[in-house]
Structure 1
Amino acid sequence: MDTSRTTTAALMALAATLALLAGALARDTDYCYQDESEKYLLFASKTAYEFVRDSRRGAEILPHCTPLQVWWLNRHGTRYPGKSTIKSMAEKLPGLRDSILTNHQERSGRLCDADLEALQQWKLTVSEGQENVLTPAGEQELFLTAKRLSDRFPEVLKLPYTSSRYKFQHTDSQRTQESARQFARGLFTDADVVNIPPADKKDLLLQPYTECKVWLEGDKSDPPEWRKLVEGSLMQSLIANVSSRLGFRSDLKFVDVDTIYDMCRFQEAWDVQKTSPWCAAFNKDELKLLEYAEDLRYYYKSGYGDEKNVKLGCPLAKDLYERFNALATGQGEQPAGVFYFAHSSTLHMLQSRLGAFRDPWTLRADNYQYLRQRAWRISLMGSFAGNLGAVFYKCAPPGEPESKQVLFLAGEGPLDLPGCKVGLCTWEHVKQLLEPVAQECNLDWCEGNGATTITAAHLPFVAALLLALTSLHEIVFEL
């Protein structure tokens, strides 16, 4: 070991730190992200599940009711970035980090000492070859979700495993396959006996959009409303503020700011106990605007902003209806647990088909200030390991006729749907809304030979919401 080189390196690091501390005496700072007690941790699709899941729930108690099936759709857990994002991080961030440190040594910039020291110690720990792979944090998210569900619904999820009693299905990707495996580990002591079938290359249930020509042809560019927001005054002001905070005398490009944001939110998800030094580039209001930008993108790419997205949610809605209808009518055997593992688009399309997380106004670039309390919020509805579940109950209160109930869940908390109460719906209501969807569900229009127009009557749960809109005073919406 060359001790002289080690000593020299240590002295250089010490000198750099002292230079930063000296520079701090002559500059203003905004705040210290490292010391912030209430960090803003909603990062849209890159939000850690631990930050948003409903942690208040224990064993589910519905008097005189017995669960017969848990139907569950889970987005994969926290993953590493895609190939292009990793490449961008590797190419841009080390140079940006060095420039930021130099800027502050020259008494330009407004980062605090703790954030500068954390940035100085930062290293990129992900490389090409790890793209889109499930992280250890992602494995833990799925494992613990299953453990909690098992404790919450022991009547159906603590039964001995058989392949007919528990159904697993995932898409053709490492991150969903491993998510399914970790979920199985959380449910069963001996997860090795669990039959998780290999994925279909063409999965019209979990990824119908990948086989939909009409949808694919209309999905090549970024949504116009997203571009308007990125090019508009709010985002340009954000870029200017971030550039100044980091000590640059001319504004960074949006792609650079976006790469910094990606590093910030990925790191926060990879280890929820640590903080990313890159998040110090933004204040809370700026993080909220960046969150809205992604909400806007998903709104048009996989949500209510395009009617094709809503139609592509019908295969899963049909599967849910047909399984619950079989339980309601006693026709045929059904698994106690049905578990699907897919992607954010799958989740958002089903949510839209059900009428969940729907705002009374269209999301646009120019109405961000009025949609601070919007329902369509990817952080809360589509985080890493985000999920949507439904539980079918048979109820027999003493002295009353037998009835059926359905409990809808999102992030393990109640999913509010029109016509239901705190996530709990009568089976008659669910049947009334989902039966037409199941009967009309087909993907023939994807070839471009059929009409793509849909109406409120075809949207389960949305019809009830639209009726409510006729009396605006009944809408509880905080501006």
Structure 2
Amino acid sequence: MSRYFIIFITIVIILNQSFNATNLKPKDIRNYLGTRTPYRFKNNKNDTKIKFPSCKDVKIWMIIRHGTRLPSAKDIVGMNTTLNNLKYEILLKNKQGKGPLKKDHLKLFEKWKSDISVDEEKYLTLEGQDEMIQLAERMQKRFPNAIKHKYNNKHFKFKYTATQRAQQSARYFTLGLFDKNNSQNVIYEPALKVDTTLRFYKHCDKWQKQVKKNPNTYKEQILYGNSHEMNMTLLSVSKKFGLDRVLSLDTVVLIYKICGYETSWHKYFSSPWCLGFDDFSIKTLEYYHDLKHYWLDGYGHDLTYHQACMILKNMFEIMSKDSPTATFLFAHSGTLLKLLTHLHLYKPDSHLRGDIKDEQRVWRASDIDCFASNLAFVLFKCNDEEKLLTLHQERIIKLPMCNEELCSFEHLKDYFKNSIHNCDHSDMCKLD
């Protein structure tokens, strides 16, 4: 009996950890991990069928950011060198009694190691696979008419970018929609090296030069990186690790990133690197990264979001055709953020600045662009009228140009007629 009791208690503890990990308190630092925030903290777990009186869901178009991935090659090297060396320095200082870390925290550092190969940079993780399977299952329950249970090439369209993480996200998503045998029969559209729909910005020469490679794009982030708040954060993180020196901004940013990655990868393991942050410092790092994404992917430059007409035009074209009934596109953070901006969503009252932190901003990557972020448009036939429902992170949202959540499809086509009919990628992106 005692053995079974121990097993029972173990299961209860694991379930309790799982519950706590998906029901975060506002001050939990895991709420503020930016684009590396786990989707399990942000998704909508209510998967009941979404219904409207006298309406029927007939089509769905959905764009999905790939699931949780491994870091970039640069950050993997940083883990294997900078953080590996720092780990031993932290252990030494704290064992000498110079640091505040407790025994159980030191054990986390002792166990921590980085053995990720650079060859696996940005690969989809096991958690990323789970995110896709579960997302597909929930969406199918909400819209069973638009998303059929049996696969048919005429009813479904799947497309991904030419990256391992997007391709694997698509494959695990189909595993969630269909059983294992049927998912093996799914036909995917060929991935394009030059994809002006799913990665329009990568191939927009004008945007690459005027925005991405323009130093002015990053001036607000750099300003905040030199602020008093950031200096206080560098000092705070250094003290929490028991160091007698102040860590550089680059090192603290790397710690913030790896804290985010490891929190995303592991449901039941706490990253020791998260121990360096408190409520103040984690929000400082979050804002530092929000400044970058706002000016690079958001409202900072008109061309950034104007070019997102490419992906929005795709949605309107597919919704206006006879088939397929379900379209699922797998892309990246840069695609989602620019599309959200094109739709006038999460727009702050004024541009985000580096000399003052906007605590009340709606532009917060932790909420709007975590791993596996997604945006769905569902077409409903309501008597003789077609209406469009919008969901972001699986939650119904009202578009700013609509009076209601279920919005007239004709109204939206009229509102975005310029995006649909005057969206020429080559013309928009050619260098003057």
Query: Where does structure 1 lack aligned partners over 5 or more consecutive residues?
Result: 1-35, 327-331, 397-401, 450-479
Query: Given the alignment, which residue of 278, 300, 321 partners 1:305?
Result: 300
Query: Given the alignment, which residue of 411, 415, 432 partners 1:433?
Result: 415
Would you say the 8 A contact 1:79–1:134 is kept in 2?
Answer: yes
- The one of the two structures with greater contact order (alpha-carbon pairs below 8 A, sep at least 6) is 2
Equivalent residue, structure 2, for 1:25: none
Counterpart-to-counterpart distance in 1, 2:200 and 2:260: 29
Q: Aligned-pair distance for 1:413?
A: 0.5
Q: Secondary structure at the match of 1:272?
A: coil
Equivalent residue, structure 2, for 1:405: 387
Q: Secondary structure at the match of 1:316?
A: helix
Would you say the 8 A contact 2:80–2:115 is kept in 1?
Answer: no
Query: Given the alignment, which residue of 175, 193, 203 partners 2:165?
Result: 175
Equivalent residue, structure 2, for 1:202: 194
Equivalent residue, structure 2, for 1:264: 259
Equivalent residue, structure 2, for 1:445: 428
Counterpart-to-counterpart distance in 2, 1:422 and 1:275: 42
Equivalent residue, structure 1, for 2:288: 293
Q: Does 1:333 align with 2:325?
A: no
Counterpart-to-counterpart distance in 2, 1:260 and 1:421: 44
Q: Aligned-pair distance for 1:200?
A: 0.8
Counterpart-to-counterpart distance in 1, 2:352 and 2:99: 34
Equivalent residue, structure 2, for 1:85: 75
Would you say the 8 A contact 1:321–1:434 is kept in 2?
Answer: no
Q: Aligned-pair distance for 1:426?
A: 2.1
Equivalent residue, structure 2, for 1:362: 351
Q: Aligned-pair distance for 1:310?
A: 0.8
Q: Does 1:348 align with 2:337?
A: yes
CA offsets, 1:202-232, max 9 Å, x none? 1010011111111111312561111111111
Counterpart-to-counterpart distance in 2, 1:435 and 1:66: 25
Equivalent residue, structure 2, for 1:245: 240
CA offsets, 1:268-316, max 9 Å, x none? 0001222111100110221111111111111111111111111121011
Query: Where does structure 2 lack aligned partners over 5 or more consecutive residues?
Result: 1-23
Counterpart-to-counterpart distance in 2, 1:154 and 1:385: 21
Q: Aligned-pair distance for 1:240?
A: 0.9
Would you say the 8 A contact 2:234–2:248 is kept in 1?
Answer: yes
Counterpart-to-counterpart distance in 2, 1:171 and 1:359: 30
Matches within 5 A, 1:23-422: 39-41=28-30, 42-189=32-179, 190-218=182-210, 219-220=212-213, 221=215, 223-324=218-319, 326=320, 332-368=321-357, 371-396=358-383, 402-420=384-402
| RMSD of aligned residue pairs (Cα, Å) | 1.6
Counterpart-to-counterpart distance in 1, 2:403 and 2:164: 37
Q: TM-score, normalised by structure 2?
A: 0.89
CA offsets, 1:340-375, max 9 Å, x none? 00010011111111111111111111231xx22211
Structure with higher Rg: it is 1
Equivalent residue, structure 1, for 2:8: none
Q: TM-score, normalised by structure 1?
A: 0.81
Counterpart-to-counterpart distance in 2, 1:433 and 1:366: 36
Structure 1, 123-132 or 81-90: larger mean CA deviation: 123-132
Would you say the 8 A contact 2:149–2:178 is kept in 1?
Answer: no
